[in-house]
Amino acid sequence: MAPRIPPLDPADLDDDTRELVTKTLASPDGEVLNIFRTMAHHPWVLKRFLALGTQLLVRGEVGARERELLILRTGWNTQSEYEWGQHVAIGRAVGLTDVELARIKAGPDADGWTAVDAALLRAADELHVGSTITGDTWSELKNAYPDEKSLIEVVAVVGYYHLVAFFLNSTGVEREAGVAGLDSP
């Protein structure tokens, strides 16, 4: 499917947006990712979108591996090719194995998850389907994360990455060359 909103050429970005995306949002080859070039059509939204996203990715209370479990399950639940593909690479970088990546698709009841991993995946599923975490899952998470910051962050990560998926899926942002899709791993 062709993008509904094509990504801006980096030369067409205003100076502030160009500075923002080139300093912090470039791919490993130095190119600005399609998601940000597309969202750059609305610089105000892009700037605020990145403020929260950067905090969740860089300064979060929940560990990077656990955060990626939440994001990848959300990407799978929303069938977001772009979100899934980008975060498969990030997940691998923070220690997720190909076996775990494949198991994320099967969900929290698949064999091999720790109790905490299963609770995180279940929380992502419950938020996706019912817009709340059930009492049993909340109790499991509270045992693993006794501080309120981490519990809030679990909800915020899933909510934020729903927003990301809604944007990606609705605008038709295309994956960069070599980025995995939902069929990977």
Could you read off the pLDDT of 76-107 as tens digits, one per residue?
A: 999 999 999 999 999 999 999 999 999 999 99
pLDDT number for residue 170: 97
Say which CATH topology domain 10-58 has: 1.20.5
Q: Name which CATH class applies to 64-171.
A: mainly alpha
The predicted model gives 147-168 an average pLDDT of 97
Tokens 């809030």, residue located:
152
Query: Could you tell me if residue 112 is left (phi over 0), alpha (psi between -120 and 50 degrees) or otherwise beta?
Result: left
Is 80 exceeded by the pLDDT of residue 49?
yes
Average pLDDT over residues 4-13: 91
Task: Supply the pLDDT for residue 24.
Answer: 64
Task: State the distance between the two ends of the chain, measured CA to CA, in whole angstroms.
Answer: 22
State the residue for tokens 């502030």. 16
Q: What integer best gives the mean pLDDT of the chain?
A: 93
Q: At what angle do helices 148-171 and 81-93 cross, to 10 degrees?
A: 140
> Can you tell me which residue has the tokens 């969740």?
56
pTM, to two decimals: 0.94
Domains of the chain by residue range: 10-58, 64-171
Rounded distance between C-alpha atoms, residue 28 and residue 30, angstroms: 5
Q: Is 26 helix (H, G, I), strand (E, B) or coil?
A: strand
Residue-wise burial string across 85-102, b where 16 or more C-beta atoms lie within 10 A, e elsewhere: bbbbeebbeeebeeebbe
Amino acid at the residue 71? I
Residue whose pair of structure tokens reads 């962050």 in the numeric block: 153
Place of tokens 């949002």: 25
Q: What is the pLDDT of residue 13?
A: 87
User: What are the contacts of 102-107 at 24+ separation with CB within 8 A?
Assistant: 102/185, 104/69, 104/72, 104/73, 104/76, 105/76, 107/73
